[in-house]
Amino acid sequence: MLSALLVMAGLAILIGAALGFAALKFKVEGDPLVDKIDAILPQTQCGQCGFPGCKPYATAMANGEADINCCPPGGEDGIRKLADLLGREFKPLNAENGVEKPKSVAFIDEQTCIGCTLCLQACPVDAISGAAKQMHTIIAPLCTGCELCLAPCPVDCITMKPVEETVDTWKWRYPAFQLKPVAARTAA
C-alpha cells in the first residue's frame, strides 16, 4: 500500500516537473488567440478592414473591438472560420469594407513606369523589385493582390490581373452534379 502511494506520489512529482518544464520550453510567444485569428486571415495586408494589416485586425477582434465580417479577401469562408473559432454568429461580409473578388496580382506596364519607387514603398509585402529611375516589376508569386500600389502610382501604370487557373492549380469540381437527374425525377 505504502509503496503504491509512494509510486503515485513520485509519478505526480515527475509529471508535474515535466509539465512545468514543457510550459517553459514551449512557451507561446504573444497572445495565442490573436495568432489563431491571424492564421485564418488571408494576409493580403490590404487594410480594407480598416486596420493597417491583418495582425492589427486580429488583435482588435481578440479584444472584442472589431466585428468578424470586415475582411473582403477572406470572404464568407473566412468569416465562417472566425465565427467557429470565436463562437460568434455568422454574418455576411460588411459591404462597407468592400466585396470579395477573385484573387488578382498587380501588373506594371513597363513601358509607362518612370521608376519613381512610390509603389515599391507602398507594397506591404515587398513584392515589387526595382530601383530609383529603373523600371519596376511585380514579383507575382509574392503579390497578395492588396491593390495598395495602385493609388500611389503617379502615371497609373499598375493594373490588377486575375490569377488564371492552370493545369497544376485546377481543382476537381464537387461531384454533386451527379445528384441532379435523381432530384429532377423525384420532383417530376
Answer with the entry of other proteins, ligand SF4, none that 156 interacts with (C-beta below 5 to 8 A by kind): other proteins
Q: Can you name the residues that pair with 129 across neighbouring β-strands? A: 137
Residues at the site binding other proteins, with contacts judged by CB under 8 A = 38, 41-48, 50-55, 97-98, 111-116, 118, 121-122, 124-127, 141-142, 144, 147-148, 150-157, 159-160, 165-175, 178-179, 181-182, 185
- Write a three-state SS string for 48-85: CCCCCCHHHHHHHHHCCCCCCCCCCCCHHHHHHHHHHH
Residue type at position 13 = I
Task: By CB under 6 A, name the one of 113, 127, 153, 157 that touches ligand SF4.
Answer: 127
Beta strands 128-129 and 104-108: pairing type?
unpaired
Give the CA angle between residues 109, 167, 177 to the nearest 5°. Answer: 120
For the bound state, the minimum distance from the C-beta of residue 1 to other proteins, rounded and expressed in Å, comes to 43
Determine contact, residues 125/45, Cβ cutoff 8 Å.
Answer: yes
Position among 74, 79, 93, 157 found at the interface with ligand SF4 (CB under 6 A)? 74
Closest approach, Cβ 48 to ligand SF4, in A, equals 4
Question: Least distance to ligand SF4 from the beta carbon of 49, Å?
Answer: 3
- Shortest reach from residue 24's CB to ligand SF4, in Å: 33
Cβ 93 vs Cβ 79: under 8 Å: yes
Q: Does 157 bind ligand SF4 (CB under 6 A)?
A: no
